């Protein structure tokens, strides 16, 4: 659907690369502009495949072309502006003001290319007292109160196993970019859009913060979706596994009570004092025994799977979500279309740093070998 669009990806780590990966999966040509000498730090994360490519890096950057440009060198910023003059979208994840100081900021880029959609993705937003602070997913979760809701049985805050704030920020950036492209199709003019992990996470917490704003101070302890009640909770099983029960609606909770032979529980789905009894029940059988009892029943319940089980799960297999060593994009685009499937397969390889520098400078900017050699000799670019 985005065939013919050129995207410049100046991001690294997780949020920005995930957003631009989605654009790539939708058909856009994505050029990853990396800093020398090693490019995106995620390239160093183990494990690596036989080609020496990090599995984590490949998951976020498959199908992108890599160009190494030193923006701190004389000529580096000018080269980036030349690329931006021919691009449809530019996504950057620098701290606010960095590209302006280097001479390649949004105003300069869009002065040369008014159709450019410029997306600034940051940790804390483009204004405010935190704008220049460094951060990662854990700090964004901490500042938005999300981390405060991640507690163990003793009530102590635990480190989450998923980068929720990063992914919310990435999704917000993707939505903003696509909305700006729709507007550009109508007006012919691009715009600058912003997204941040803090803003996206806080927005996603509206369900929790809304009650607080009208005076409800119960917090997680009375949250029906936070494990306070027996009908929506994760339970340990006899073999050390876990089972997720999400029987919020009366028909699901009633069905669960009927299956386990406890009709006396039917009216107690929101009774916290029942939790110990349900915990004791789940500890009487191993996880897979509960699968046989509950998984196909109409009660909203599921086993807690590990990564290997997820990749071999029949539903994941039926949708083709984890084939050929990669995970599919987060959307289905005519999944039965063989052309779409083939296009996705062609984009399943991640490039080494600078692997496409020379080709991109030839194709996008029309530079000859002598000009590229000169840029490389000056340290402005590097080819892989």
Domains of the chain, each with CATH number or no CATH: 6-204+324-382 (3.40.50.10540), 223-304 (3.30.1540.10)
Q: How many CB atoms lie within 10 A of CB 42?
A: 17
- Residues 188-210: tens digit of each pLDDT: 999 999 999 999 999 999 888 88
CB 43 within 8 A of CB 353: yes
CA distances 183 to 177, 179, 310, Å, are 10, 6, 38
Q: Which residues 6+ apart lie within 8 Å of 374 measured at CB? A: none
- Residues 134-189: tens digit of each pLDDT: 999 999 999 999 999 888 878 899 999 999 999 999 999 999 999 999 999 999 99
| Catalytic choice (166, 258, 298, 313) | 166
What does pLDDT average to over the chain? 92
Q: What is the DSSP letter of 144?
A: T
Average pLDDT, stretch 286-307?
96
How many angstroms from the chain centroid is the CA of residue 56? 12
Residue 145 CB-half CA count within 13 A? 12
Predicted local distance difference test score (pLDDT) of residue 123 = 97
* 166 annotated active-site: yes
| Pairwise CA distance, residues 124 & 200, whole Å | 10
Predicted local distance difference test score (pLDDT) of residue 327 = 76
Cross-strand bridge partners of residue 65: 31
Predicted local distance difference test score (pLDDT) of residue 198 = 97
- Residues 241-272: tens digit of each pLDDT: 999 999 999 999 999 999 999 999 999 999 99
| Pairwise CA distance, residues 178 & 19, whole Å | 11
Q: Measuring CA to CA, which residue among 110, 104, 159 is closest to residue 137?
A: 159
Predicted local distance difference test score (pLDDT) of residue 338 = 58
Predicted local distance difference test score (pLDDT) of residue 288 = 97
| Pairwise CA distance, residues 164 & 141, whole Å | 8
Assess whether pLDDT exceeds 90 at residue 328: no
Average pLDDT, stretch 349-357?
89
CB 143 within 8 A of CB 200: no
Predicted local distance difference test score (pLDDT) of residue 347 = 59
Average pLDDT, stretch 22-39?
95
Q: Tell me the torsion sign for CA atoms 324, 11, 122, 108.
A: negative
Q: How many CB atoms lie within 10 A of CB 284?
A: 11
Assess whether pLDDT exceeds 80 at residue 216: no
Assess whether pLDDT exceeds 90 at residue 384: no
Q: What percent of the chain has pLDDT over 70?
A: 93
Predicted local distance difference test score (pLDDT) of residue 378 = 95
Predicted local distance difference test score (pLDDT) of residue 210 = 83
CA distances 112 to 14, 117, 191, Å, are 29, 12, 13
Task: Answer whether 0.75 is exceeded by the pTM.
Answer: yes
| Pairwise CA distance, residues 164 & 146, whole Å | 9
CB 358 within 8 A of CB 372: yes
How many angstroms from the chain centroid is the CA of residue 375? 34
């Amino acid at each position: 659907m985005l065939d013919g669009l050129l995207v410049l990806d100046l991001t690294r780590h997780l949020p920005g690369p995930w957003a631009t990966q989605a654009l790539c999966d939708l058909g856009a040509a994505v050029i990853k502009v990396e800093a020398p000498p090693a490019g995106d730090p995620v390239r160093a994360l183990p494990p690596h495949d036989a080609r020496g490519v990090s599995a984590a890096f490949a998951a976020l950057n498959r199908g992108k072309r890599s160009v190494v440009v030193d923006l701190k060198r004389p000529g580096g910023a000018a080269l980036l502006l030349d690329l931006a003059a021919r691009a449809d979208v530019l996504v950057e994840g620098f701290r606010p003001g960095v590209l302006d100081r280097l001479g390649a900021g949004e105003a300069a880029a869009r002065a040369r290319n008014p159709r450019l959609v410029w997306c600034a993705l940051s940790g804390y937003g483009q204004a405010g007292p935190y704008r220049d602070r460094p951060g990662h997913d854990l700090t964004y979760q901490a500042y938005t109160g999300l981390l405060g809701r991640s507690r163990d049985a003793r009530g102590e805050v635990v480190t989450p196993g998923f980068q929720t704030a990063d992914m919310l920020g990435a999704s917000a950036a993707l939505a903003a970019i696509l909305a700006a492209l729709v507007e550009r199709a109508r007006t012919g003019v691009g715009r600058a859009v912003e997204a941040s992990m803090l803003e996206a996470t806080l927005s996603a917490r509206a369900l929790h913060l809304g009650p607080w704003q009208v005076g409800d101070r119960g917090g997680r302890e009375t949250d029906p979706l936070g494990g306070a009640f027996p009908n929506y909770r994760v339970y340990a099983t006899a073999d050390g596994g876990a089972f997720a029960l999400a029987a919020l609606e009366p028909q699901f909770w009633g069905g669960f009570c009927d299956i386990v032979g406890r009709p006396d529980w039917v009216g107690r789905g929101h009774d916290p004092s029942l939790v110990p009894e349900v915990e004791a029940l789940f500890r009487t059988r191993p996880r897979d025994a509960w699968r046989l009892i509950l998984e196909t029943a109409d009660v909203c319940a599921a086993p807690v799977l590990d990564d290997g089980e997820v990749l071999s799960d029949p539903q994941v297999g039926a949708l083709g979500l984890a084939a050929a060593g990669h995970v599919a994009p987060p959307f289905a685009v005519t999944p039965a279309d063989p052309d779409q499937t083939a296009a996705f397969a062609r984009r399943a390889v991640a490039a080494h740093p600078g692997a496409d520098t020379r080709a991109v400078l030839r194709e996008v900017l029309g530079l000859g070998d002598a000009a590229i050699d000169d840029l490389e000799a000056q340290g402005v670019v590097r080819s892989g």
